[in-house]
Every structure is written in structure tokens, then in C-alpha cells.
Amino acid sequence: MNSLTLTAKAVRVGIFALTTSSIAFSGTVFAEEQSEKVERIEVTGSRIKQVDMETSSPVTVLSAADIALTGEKTVADVLNNSAINSFGSWRGMSGYGSGASSTASINMRGLGAQATLVLLDGRRMPGTSSSSGAVADTSQIPLAIVERIEILRDGASAVYGSDAVAGVINIITKKEFDGFQLDFSTEQPDIDGGDANRFSIAAGFNSDKGNVTFTYEYYDTKSVMDRDIWNMDDPSYGDYSSFSSVPNGYYNTGKLDADGKPIYDFYANSDMCDQTENVSDGTDGENNGRCFYSYGAVTKLFGDMTRNSFMTNFNYEVTDNIQFRGRGSASLSETNTRYAGTPVSTNYPVMGADNQYNPTGADMTLYMRSVQIGERDTLTETNNYDILGGFVGYSEVGNGIDWEINAQHSASTTNSFNYNLINDNIIQSEIDTGEYDIFNTSGMSYAEWDAQMAKLYGAAAHTGVYQGKFDSTQFDALASTLVLENGDFTVAMVGGIEYEMINFKQTSDPESAAGIISGGSGGDDVDAERTRQAVYTEFQVGLPANFEFSAAVRYEKYEQEGSLSGPEGVVTKSSTFDAVVPKFGLSWRPVDSLLLRASYGDSFRAPNMGEMFSSQSLSFEKAYDSVWCEANNDSDANYCATGNQHKTWYGGNPNLEAEEGNSLTLGGVWNVTDAWSLELSYYAITYDNKIESVSASDVIRDEKVNGGSQFVTRGADGKIEYIESGVVNIATVETSGFDFATAYNLETGFGDFNFKVDMSHVLEFKKQADSESVTIDYSGVVDYPEWRGNFSAAWYFDDFNAAWTTVYIGSQSGEYWREQGEDYIIDTPSYFKHNFQVGYTHDWNGTVTLGVNNLFDEQAPTYYNFAAYRDVNTGLYDVLGRTFYLRVNQKF
């Protein structure tokens, strides 16, 4: 897992014939006489093919062998363990809307998934609907088709376009396969659930005129329940909700406290609490208090998922100088997630004082959860399609011109069905009939009361429907030539144009959009379109004394238009974003074994369509209400808990501006010997005008500082009823650090050994992201490890092989958060996950591999000094524990 020249040389020979006739990248091959043909390959970071894989930009290459050593089951998991994935990445979990619970992404340098550009064979992958098409779902890429992954570790907007602020992930697929191959793998964690199986078929045919390959992969993984991960039996565990399957009533007692303020209290039926599963009795024995529901006992952390993936690559020689090439792919997946039964919380129901079953004689706000009709199960269907076709040619004009013309169409559709939601209006009307004794004041049997509650919720049951559609059509062309070759002085150039049309639409069912449904996240509807136009050029200049200078510049323009709901109804808004971004690089080989290099580039990212045009949507955000809780000495422990959720409305912002950034890298690669190589790189990235969601915590903090806020609505008791928020250009991030990699190959009489180390160290991660313009260096703070790294040792002897790999995440301090008054945040120790595998290549042209990930069952560190629900960064750490796996490969 490194970018060293030794690795480059080993890969280069094997991939040259493949890359010159494939669609790995848009690029150029210089025509030469057969007797003088020079090997030129396509390298991530430049559109100009060249002799050496090492350029002025640092690139990490993960070969198929490197990927196999990780023992990971998906591309998303492989990338998540990469050292440049500084602070972890999103992994789909239950409880997230718009299809996000079934996706995964990559977050280079901690700058956000939208700042990392993901390419498939050098071309942009279609984005997810949950990100308005801005973020690619790396979990949808079948591992069976991956030849290698190249990670460009600096900004590259001038080369590949906007979004490449932190870097580029380029996933190269297998091509020119000849024959038939079967692969099967299975894995099973120690915990219940999480079992995964993969089966793939690959077939290919080569002829004198071209080749074609087909790949099919089936993948499924079973769900993991939260209760099997978090320590809910610990006495300190306290993640319970007032929204309970045994209703709680909140009312004004009619009494005043010492300050003359009205006193509010809760009412619940303690007998029902004692008899109901997953409910704890929080009463004081006099039917005053609350019944608390343990929502984590029934939810899925990761859902059940099945995926069918198809891909074909083909090329055909039309004439001696023209080749037709293409690619087609499809990915069809279903994910089933589960969240706890619906809390009726979008609009709180009220039991009137005159209701015959009201035990208090005062209007009661009800805290209810519809467990009696089942949990919130969500089925998410995601279908992705991608078709590419183009011509590659050569013209004998001047020094020769290589050219290509391409057309590509991509589409992604997400359908989500969220079952057992609740229509608040129906709940309220049913309670108003006076037919439901929800507090069981009449003394029904438990079975009778339970059946009555099921009838109530059944009358109000609702299935939330969401659909997101994203499609892109792109036309592009480029031409390249060797402009000048005069001794040690050469000039090569490439120029190109791109035009892309994008449509994005997401809708939820009308009831959810109207804000009358509890348990879902509907309402963030988007109907928008955008066009992207780009023109670019890149030069590579060879200079005497083994210097090489490169320069690229791109002009890119986005025009987008969308409908936005507001006080005046539905209005159409439009915006234009454009920028000229350059990139420069310089490399020098003072001796053949040493390459020194530097690169600098600007970047920008236009706001995506959801950030600008989404209508208001409802979410429930965790936040500590410092305004009320500090004024009342945390007298309501449940309301003042760190995990308490507040109703929060989010909406788009049509006035957003483009984000801007720049990156600098310095470093070198040294082949110390033929067997040992080293790489050291320094990076510094500034990311300005960054678009951030204003969190509920930020809004409350601003309210406290300013003595009030128009974005916080509070009830008569002073507690939050709802918060209004959105996205703004508010953040500035400055980060810097070092990347280090080394590889050593040792040949002995009892086998060949290969050792690799890949480390990344964050020097600083300064972020300004609030209205007070306070800049904080988060490096080393909890969730922001300064160190990440990987070590691997592989052994090969005749038909046998074995490998040991270690994933390392450095310790983190909770001191910053404790200084903010959050005394429950603890320090995070260093984390080591060790993996081991053995393999055998048998005489029938196949292999068998056995392995175990997390051999010593290392437990992921937690955030708090008490047991809590989802108190681990699941995007950073492995929470499944020790996992055994088997892989079988057979070629024919």
C-alpha cells in the first residue's frame, strides 16, 4: 500500500499493454516507430501518458494483491482503512433518510466526502441521491472487477475538474481477461450477524481485432443489531427515551415554584411500565414520572443488504489508427434497515383536560411510541447504470496527434419505503374521540390495553415513500501531441473539452412533505438541473539535468436551476459558478534512484443541487440545551442528556457561494536499493468558504451568546419545541501533515518476503466553523487522530503464501471537550487491528485462502465514561470484532 517507484516498476510492465488499449483514463499515447516504441502509461494526476509512474504528484497504488491482503469485503472497507482517510468515512447505518443508510463514501484528509473526487476508470462515478449526486457510493463497486486503486494525494481540480479538493480516488477495473474465472468468499464475525457472502463470475475473449470481458458479482451481508454491539447491560447505560410504548403525559400542575414559574410534571402508568418489554419504570411509585423506552434494544446498526453487479469492457480495432471502446455497468441493491418504533414527535399529540381518560384534569402533551404495530423498517432499493462509448485514434499530422471522442450516460435511482410511520393528524383525531384509555385508568388487562394501543396506531399507520433520481450525460474530447523534442528538452501537451448535463430530483410522499408524519425524514424535495462546461490544457516539459515541469489549467462553469419552496410559494432560482484553476508541478532526478518533487494547485467546488434547492425537511438532532438546562440546573436529566434529540428543520440555501481551496505537496521517492524504497511527502491544504450544515448545537450556542435566536422556538416551559437550520458558507479548514511509506523485498531460500509500511501524520487540522469566527486545531482531539497507518508482511514460497497486516489508529485526547464542560468525554487509546491469512495455490489453476480479521478481537474505543448507544465512531473503527473468512478462486 504505497506509491513507491519499486512498486511502480513492477506494476508498469504488467499494465502497459492493458492501459494503452483500455479506458483507464482519458489520455494520450505518442505514436512512434515500432523499433523505437517507448513504454508510456497513464498515471493518476495527469492526462499525459509518460514513461515513469512517479510524477510531481504523489500517488498511492493499491494493487489487487494489496487489496487481497487486507481481507476486507468491499471497496469501501479497503479505502476506509487507508491512511489518507484521516478521520474515517461514512458507512451506512440505520436511522438515516434519503437512502443514506445504504451508502458508503471516502473522506480524504477529513475535508468531507464532497471534497474527494471518485473516478471509475478515470471518469466520474454517478453520485448518490442522498448527496444530490455530489458523493459517490464506494460500497456499490464490486470488488471482483477491481484491478487496482490509485489514490492521488493532492488537489487536482485543474486536471479532473471541481470536487478534487482533497484528492482523487481512481478505481481501475479489470480488462482483457481471457478465459473463465469463479470466485467465492464468505466471512463470519464472532458476534451475531454480519455474515457476508460473495460470488463472482468473470469471462473474457481476445481476438486480433479486440477483446471483451464480462463480470457478474452477487454479494449479501446480514444485519447487525445494536444490542449485540453496545453494552446495554452496564449499569451506567442511560440511552432511554421519554417517547415510550407506554405513553407519558406532560402537563402544567397548576403550581408555581419559588420564582413564580409554573411547575410541569410527567404522568405515566407504572404498572404498564413493569409489564412492557424494553421499558423501564421511571416513576416514583405514585404514578408520577415517566416510562423510559430502550430504543437501542430493537434497532439494526447495519442493515441486511444484497447486491447484484454487472460490468462489461470491450474494444474493437476499426482501422489501423482508430479503435472503438466501451464500458457498460449496472448495480442493483436492496438494503433493509430498522430503527425503533415511531416516536410521535413531529407534532406532539395532546389529550384535552376534558377527555374522560385524562388522569390529571389538565391538558397533557403526550410522549408516545408506536411499538405495538412494529419497528420502523426501511427497504432501500438502489439501481445504478453507466454506459460509455468512444473512439480513440491517431493522426499523422506533425509529430502525430492522438485523439479521442467519448459519450457517457450514467443514472442512479433510489427508492425507499419506510414502514410503520405515524400520521400525527390521525393520532390526534383518534385521541379526541375519547375512545382510547392510553393510560389504562380503567384497569384493563395488559392484553386488552396492548390491543387498544395497536388499534390506535394501526389507524394512523403510514408508509413513507422516497425516490431520488440522478442522471448525467457527458460528451468530451481531447487531443494530444509531442510539441517539441530536442535533445534533453521536450514539450508534450494535451487539450480537451467537456460538456455535461445533469438532472436531479428527489421527492417524498405528500404527507411526509407536509410535515404531518412522524418517524421519517420527508420534505427535503429537490427538482433541479445543472450543466457543466469545461475546457482544459496540460503541458509537460522535459528539461536538462533530469528536471521536469508540468502545468495544467482548467476553466469550468456550472449553471444550475431549481425550484425552491418559500413563503411566496414555489419559485425558480438559478445560479452560475465558474472558475479558472491552475496546477503546477516540478520534479527532479539528481540520480536515477532519487526523485524529488513539488506540486501546487487551486481548486473549487460548486454547491450541489440539494444544498441550494432542497425544501425544508425534518430531522431530530442530538444537542444539549445549554440555555434551559444550565438555567434549571439540569433538573430534567432525560431532557438534558447529551443524546437528547430536538426537532430540527433543515432547508436549502439558494445564496450559497462556491468553495475554494489550494494544496501544496513536497516530497521525494528514493530507491535505496533494488529491494528497498522510501517515500516521504508533506502536504498543506487550505479550504475556504466551505459549506457546512449549521448544527442544532451551533444554533443553541448562538442563542446563548446572543441572548436569543429567531431560529429557536420554545414552549411555555422554556424547553425547545423546534429549531430551524440549514447550510451556509461558514467554514475555513487548514490542514497539513506528512505521509510516509516504505517497502522492502527479501528473497531467501525458504521464500520471498515483502514488507510495507504506510503512515500518515496530521500536523494540524484547524477549523473555523461558527459565527464567532473561532479557529480550533482539532488534530489529536477525539475523532481527529493525528496518526493513521498500516503495516503488512507477506511471505511467498512455492504454492504457499501467508500475510500479516496491522491497521493502526493513534490515540486522541478528550481534553478539549472537557474544557467545554463536557466532562463525560474520555481520552481515546491507540487502536491496533491485526489480520492474518494463509493461502494455497493448487495444481488445478486455483487458490484457497483462509484468514481472520481482528485476530485479537480488539475492541473499538468509546467516547464516554459511561455505556451509551452508538458511542463509537463506526466510520473509523471496526465494531464487528474478530471475523473469519474463506476465499476460493478457480480459473478455467
The string of DSSP letters for 150-173 reads EEE-S--HHHH-TT-SSEEEEEEE
- CA atoms in the 13 A half-sphere facing the CB of 284: 6
Across residues 810-815, what is the average pLDDT? 95
Find the largest Cα–Cα distance for the chain: 100
Instruction: Give every CB contact of residue 259 below 8 A, 6+ residues apart in sequence.
Output: none
Comparing 291 with 21, the larger pLDDT belongs to 291
Q: Which residue has the cell 441550494?
A: 612
What is the rounded CA–CA span in Å between residue 795 and residue 793? Answer: 7
Per-residue pLDDT of 363-379, as tens digits, reads 999 999 999 999 999 99
Question: How much is the pLDDT for 493?
Answer: 94
Across residues 206-231, what is the average pLDDT? 92
What is the rounded CA–CA span in Å between residue 264 and residue 284? Answer: 16
pLDDT at 718 over 90: no
Across residues 798-803, what is the average pLDDT? 95
Q: CB neighbours (10 Å) of residue 129?
A: 28
User: Could you tell me the pLDDT band of residue 2, with boundaries at 50, 70 and 90?
Assistant: very low
Three cell numbers at 869? 448507544
Question: How much is the pLDDT for 568?
Answer: 56
What is the rounded CA–CA span in Å between residue 17 and residue 7? Answer: 17
Question: How much is the pLDDT for 380?
Answer: 93
Residue 322 dihedral angles phi and psi, to the nearest 5°: -135, 135
SS (H, E, C) 123-134: EECCECHHHCCC
Q: H or E element: which one contains 204?
A: strand 196-206
| CATH number belonging to domain 5-233+300-345+374-433+443-891 | 2.40.170.20
What is the rounded CA–CA span in Å between residue 206 and residue 177? Answer: 8
Across residues 115-136, what is the average pLDDT? 81
Q: Which residue has the cell 411499538?
A: 371
Among 16-20, 145-149, 260-264, 441-445, the range with the most confident prediction by mean pLDDT is 441-445
CB of 712 closer than 8 Å to CB of 696: no
What is the rounded CA–CA span in Å between residue 480 and residue 585? Answer: 19
Residue 77 dihedral angles phi and psi, to the nearest 5°: -70, -40
Instruction: Give every CB contact of residue 443 below 8 A, 6+ residues apart in sequence.
Output: none
Per-residue pLDDT of 167-177, as tens digits, reads 889 999 888 78
Question: How much is the pLDDT for 346?
Answer: 87
pLDDT at 56 over 60: yes
Amino acid at position 2, single letter: N
In the chain, the percentage of residues whose pLDDT exceeds 90 is: 55
Average model confidence (pLDDT) across the chain: 86
What is the rounded CA–CA span in Å between residue 632 and residue 674? Answer: 70
Question: How much is the pLDDT for 648?
Answer: 81
CB of 185 closer than 8 Å to CB of 885: yes
Question: How much is the pLDDT for 28?
Answer: 32
pLDDT at 288 over 70: no
Three cell numbers at 720? 425547545
What is the rounded CA–CA span in Å between residue 473 and residue 471? Answer: 7
Question: How much is the pLDDT for 48?
Answer: 67
Across residues 716-728, what is the average pLDDT? 84
pLDDT at 679 over 90: yes
Comparing 286 with 397, the larger pLDDT belongs to 397
Across residues 306-327, what is the average pLDDT? 93
Across residues 594-608, what is the average pLDDT? 92
> In whole angstroms, what separates CA 206 from the centre of its chain?
37
The stretches of 491-586 forming alpha helices (DSSP H) are: 510-513
What is the rounded CA–CA span in Å between residue 858 and residue 283? Answer: 39
Long-range contacts of 183-187 (CB under 8 A, 24+ apart): 183/144, 183/887, 183/888, 183/889, 183/890, 184/887, 184/888, 185/73, 185/885, 185/886, 185/887, 185/888, 186/885, 186/886, 187/73, 187/853, 187/883, 187/884, 187/885, 187/886
The stretches of 464-597 forming alpha helices (DSSP H) are: 510-513
User: Could you tell me the pLDDT band of residue 221, with boundaries at 50, 70 and 90?
Assistant: very high
Instruction: Name residue 786's beta-bridge partners.
Output: none
3-state secondary structure at position 85: coil
Q: H or E element: which one contains 316?
A: strand 304-319
What is the rounded CA–CA span in Å between residue 173 and residue 122? Answer: 10
What is the rounded CA–CA span in Å between residue 862 and residue 824? Answer: 11
CB of 183 closer than 8 Å to CB of 160: no
In the chain, the percentage of residues whose pLDDT exceeds 70 is: 91
Alpha carbon of 675 to those of 368, 593, 754, 804: distances in Å? Answer: 67, 12, 9, 20
Per-residue pLDDT of 324-355, as tens digits, reads 999 999 999 999 999 999 999 888 999 999 99
Among 543-547, 705-709, 861-865, whose mean pLDDT is lowest?
705-709
Question: How much is the pLDDT for 700?
Answer: 86
Per-residue pLDDT of 743-798, as tens digits, reads 999 999 999 999 999 999 999 999 875 555 678 899 999 999 999 999 999 999 99
What is the rounded CA–CA span in Å between residue 557 and residue 658? Answer: 11
What is the rounded CA–CA span in Å between residue 28 and residue 20? Answer: 9
What is the rounded CA–CA span in Å between residue 110 and residue 113? Answer: 8
CB of 601 closer than 8 Å to CB of 582: yes
Task: Read off the pTM.
Answer: 0.85
Question: How much is the pLDDT for 577?
Answer: 94
What is the rounded CA–CA span in Å between residue 556 and residue 78? Answer: 32
Alpha carbon of 134 to those of 44, 506, 658: distances in Å? Answer: 21, 14, 14
What is the rounded CA–CA span in Å between residue 892 and residue 882? Answer: 34
Question: How much is the pLDDT for 40?
Answer: 52
What is the rounded CA–CA span in Å between residue 728 and residue 705? Answer: 19
Q: Is 696 exposed, middle or buried (CB count within 10 Å of its CB: 0-12, 13-18, 19+)? A: buried
Question: How much is the pLDDT for 555?
Answer: 95
Question: How much is the pLDDT for 294?
Answer: 93
